[in-house]
Amino acid sequence: MKRILWTLSSVLAALGIAAAVLITLNLRGEDPLPAAETLQSTPVLVQRGEYLARVGNCMACHTTQGGAPFAGGRGIETPFGVVHSSNLTPDRVQGIGSWTSAEFWRAMHHGRSKDGRLLYPAFPYPNYTQVTREDSDAIFAYLQSVPAAPDANRAHALRFPYNTQAALAVWRALFFAPGTPPTEPTQTAEYNRGAYLVNGLGHCTACHTPRNALGATSDAKAFTGGLIPVQNWYAPALNAAHEAGVKEWRTDDVVALLKTGVAPQGSVLGPMAEVVFRSTQYLSDADARAMAVYLQGLPQQDRKAPATVAAPPASAMARGGKVYEQQCAQCHGDRGQGEPGAFPALAGNRAITLADPTNLVRVVLQGGYLPATAGNPRPHGMPPFQQTLSDEEVAAVTTFVRNSWGNQAPGVGTIEVYRARERRGM
Same domain, 56 and 117: yes
The model's pTM is 0.90
Query: Do you know the residue count of the chain?
Result: 426
d(CA 56, CA 49): 10
CATH number of 58's domain: 1.10.760
- Structural domain includes residue 256: yes
Residues whose CB is less than 8 angstroms from the CB of residue 162 and which lie 6 or more positions away in sequence, other chains included: 80, 81, 168
Same domain, 245 and 157: no
Same domain, 286 and 353: no
d(CA 68, CA 134): 27
Same domain, 43 and 171: yes
Domain end marker among 148, 175, 202: 175
Same domain, 42 and 160: yes
Per-residue pLDDT of the chain (426 residues; tens, 9 = 90+): 656 655 555 545 454 555 556 566 566 667 788 878 889 999 999 999 999 999 999 999 999 999 999 999 999 988 899 999 999 999 999 999 999 999 999 999 999 999 999 999 999 999 999 999 999 999 999 999 999 999 999 999 999 999 999 999 999 999 999 999 888 999 999 999 999 999 999 999 999 999 999 999 999 999 999 888 767 889 999 999 999 999 999 999 999 999 999 999 989 999 999 999 999 999 999 999 999 999 999 999 876 656 677 889 999 999 999 999 999 999 999 999 999 878 899 999 999 999 999 999 999 999 988 999 999 999 988 999 999 999 999 999 999 999 999 999 999 999 999 888 765 434
- Structural domain includes residue 11: no
- Structural domain includes residue 62: yes
Q: Which domain holds residue 270?
A: 189-296
CATH number of 366's domain: 1.10.760.10
Spatial contact of 119 and 111, defined as CB atoms under 8 Å apart: yes
Same domain, 134 and 241: no
Spatial contact of 125 and 56, defined as CB atoms under 8 Å apart: no
At residue 334, the pLDDT reads 95
At residue 426, the pLDDT reads 41
- Structural domain includes residue 10: no
Same domain, 165 and 205: no
d(CA 103, CA 33): 7
Same domain, 137 and 40: yes
Structural domains in the chain (count): 3
Domain end marker among 175, 197, 230: 175
